[in-house]
Amino acid sequence: MSRKVTLKKLIEDFQLEVIYGWDQFDRAVTVAELYRPGLELAGFFTYHPVERLQLLGKTELSFIEGLSKQKRTERLERLCHPEIPCFIVTRNIEVPLELISASQKNKVPILRTSLATTKFASKLTNYLEKHLAPTTTIHGVLVDVYGIGVLITGSSGIGKSETALELVKRGHRLVADDAVEITQSEEGTLVGHAPDLIRYLLEIRGLGIINVMTLFGAGAVRAKKKISIAIHLEAWKEQQQYDRLGLDEEKVRIIDTEIPKLIIPVRPGRNLAVIIEVAAMNFRLKGMGYHAAQQFVQQLGTVIDEGDDFD
């Protein structure tokens, strides 16, 4: 799910001065990239990304000032495309009258900040990347196990929350129960957190809703966590062949990011909390270059080869 930021929120959060466009506050910004229209001011409009916020700093405005009145009017009118969210002038520089006139004609807001262009661009880019990052919500539990963000999924009643409670008792930290809001903060990175309404709450059937932070302390919870691995719990099926070596590595795609996925069959007598702890530690080992299953297969191959040589 993609999000948007309105000009009204942008103005409030960055305390921007409105030069023109008081009736355009409902305009939406939908992309995090900014644009400084240098080539366009020089007369090249072959590629002009009108969906981006347009920044005008000292460089751009000095160039505009050096143009003849006719060229200035002509290029600024072409620059003010109606689909542009807004122009933002930095350093509190005076806005050219031709730009105001063109903006009024095409109904494009003009805002101004006292910050330097580079500093403002950096702050605004970080802000937009955070607020416009694609998000989704998944039914499951997110737990921080040995520093690894583990997303636990499975059908209702399979034991996700009970497993999370056992993990918390063993010293790990709860991030979210029941609903996990996931944001793709950057390419290849998923960050999960709980909705505000159910933050730090855990639902245990037969017991009800408990507040993990109140019962176990602030060290038992986290506000958010990068998701590194997904573990799917399912009822044990006698006829199904489960991976016994760990060579088959499944992936699950969330938004545009793939993460490793393990399927853990559930039946009485299996300690799911311990299994998930080991899965998290094994994931860390793989990241450090040690893969137990691959090493076993290599050693097995060596033993078989030595046996053939002996024969």
Work out how many domains the chain is built from and give that number.
2
pLDDT reported for residue 250: 86
pLDDT at 293: 58
Q: Identify the pLDDT of residue 134.
A: 87
Model pLDDT, residue 103:
94
Annotated binding-site residue? 158: yes
Q: What is the DSSP letter of 37?
A: -
Round to whole Å and give the CA distance between 184 and 129.
Answer: 10
Is 68 labelled a binding residue?
Answer: no
Q: Is residue 121 part of a domain?
A: yes
Q: Which whole number is the average pLDDT over 133-149?
A: 93
Residue 304 is assigned to a structural domain of this protein: no
Residue 34 makes CB contacts below 8 A (sequence gap 6+) with: 52, 53, 54, 55, 121, 124, 125, 128
Both 158 and 110 in a single domain?
Answer: no
Q: Is position 250 within any domain?
A: yes
Tokens 């460089």 sit on residue: 59
Q: In this model, does residue 307 exceed pLDDT 70?
A: no
pTM for this one?
A: 0.72
140 annotated as a binding-site residue: no
**Residue 255: inside a domain, yes or no?**
yes
Q: Which is catalytic among the residues 139, 170, 205, 270?
A: 139
**In the Cβ-directed half-sphere of 258, how many Cα atoms lie within 13 Å?**
5
pLDDT digits (tens, 9 = 90+) for 143-157: 999 999 999 999 988
Let me know if 71 is a catalytic residue: no
Q: Are residues 221 and 96 in the same domain?
A: no
- Among 27, 72, 112, 160, which one carries the catalytic annotation? 160
Q: Per residue in 171-215, pLDDT tens?
A: 999 999 999 999 987 778 899 999 999 999 999 988 899 999 999
Q: Which one is predicted more confidently, 206 or 77? A: 77
| Last residue within a domain, chosen from 132, 156, 172 | 132
Over residues 100-120, the mean pLDDT reads 95
Look at strands 110-112 and 87-89 and give their pairing: parallel
Q: Does the pLDDT at position 124 exceed 80?
A: yes
Residues 18 and 145 occupy one common structural domain: no
Residue 187 maps to a domain: yes
- Residue 160 catalytic? yes
59 lies in some domain: yes
In a domain, residue 46? The reply is yes
Catalytic residue chosen out of the listed positions 26, 69, 196, 244: 244
**Domain boundary at 132, 148, 176, which?**
132
Annotated catalytic, 244?
Answer: yes
pLDDT beyond 80 at 162: yes
CATH number at residue 90: 3.40.1390.20
What's the mean pLDDT when you consider all of the chain? Answer: 89
- Within a domain: 29: yes
Tell me the per-residue pLDDT of 243-277, one tens digit each, with 9 for 90 and over: 655 556 789 999 889 999 998 888 887 889 999 99
Catalytic pick among 36, 48, 178, 199: 178
In the DSSP assignment, the letter for residue 169 is: H
Provide the CATH number for the domain around residue 247: 3.40.50.300
**pLDDT more than 90, % of the chain:** 71
Q: Do residues 280 and 141 share a domain?
A: yes
The residue with greater pLDDT, 37 or 291, is 37
* 73 & 164 share domain: no
Same domain, 86 and 171: no
- 41-61 pLDDT, tens per residue? 999 999 999 999 999 999 999
If asked whether residues 67 and 147 sit together in one domain, one would say: no
Instruction: Return d(Cα 63, Cα 269) in angstroms, integer.
Output: 75
Contacts of 241 (CB under 8 A, 6+ apart): none
Any catalytic annotation for residue 169? no
Give the three-state DSSP class for 48. Answer: coil
What's the pLDDT score for residue 1? 47
Which structural domain range is residue 75 located in? 5-132
Domain boundary among 87, 114, 132: 132
pLDDT at 247: 59
241 and 102 within one domain: no
